Amino acid sequence: MTGTPIPVIAIDGPTASGKGTVAHRVADRLGFHYLDSGALYRLTALVALRHETSLKDEHALAKLAAGLPCSFVGEHIYLGKEDVSQAIRREEVGNTASRIAVLPAVRHALVGLQLGFRKPPGLVADGRDMGTVIFPHAQLKVFLTASVAARAERRYKQLIEKGFAANMADLLQDLTERDARDANRSIAPLKPAEGAYLLDTSDMNADEAVSQVLNWYAAVRKRHDAGG
């Protein structure tokens, strides 16, 4: 196996597009490791909020990011020994994560941490720049998106199911603002990677999206095995 590249499936897309659910299920089906890169920014945001770190202090935020004592166990995310799976999904944390994600020093601080998730037998990584920056040579790149209305509805249902308060108008505005920040930032702007397959899930359920990604990966592996 020496010299054999560890396969990576990179799934990028905007907030609430469903990429996390799809990526997690694809990883489970293939027996691959899973990286929720957005969780790393949310973890950094959570720590920054708890420490009351100024969002204008890029150096301090980068230092927090570089020293994250984080781990992923199944669908649970830990900060040290604390399960923060629910805490990092709060809207305040998400908004803060979106703001610090535009900072070059923070993004640089998290690169090594993200690359470390690439282990045998393979990795499914979801985020905003998995295919463009972190894993540009991924065997399969997918840009998964959905309309703002569809994404707001999904986020609304998620929040309500988890017992959080939610307002549809606020969610629509929030997602629109996040999309603008992600697409217009100077470092690693949100966009489809070169060679990425585009998957619009506005009218598609998670099972259908997972099947499509698995079919694309099977085709990519077939071409690779054939020497194409």
* Joined tokens for residue 69: 């004592």
Give the max Cα distance, the chain.
54
**CB atoms < 10 A from the CB of 227, how many?**
5
Among 120, 138, 121, residue whose Cα is nearest residue 129: 138
20 annotated ligand binder: yes
Q: What are the CA-CA distances from residue 13 to residues 35, 68, 127, 185, 193 (Å)?
A: 14, 24, 7, 15, 10
* Joined tokens for residue 14: 């905007």
38 annotated ligand binder: no
80 annotated ligand binder: no
19 annotated ligand binder: yes
Q: What three-state secondary structure class fits 74?
A: coil
Residue 48 host element (H or E): helix 37-51
53 annotated ligand binder: no
Side-chain-facing half-sphere of 123: CA atoms under 13 Å:
23
Residue 127 host element (H or E): strand 123-127
Which residues participate in the annotated binding site?
A: 13-21
Which residues participate in the annotated binding site for ATP?
A: 13-21
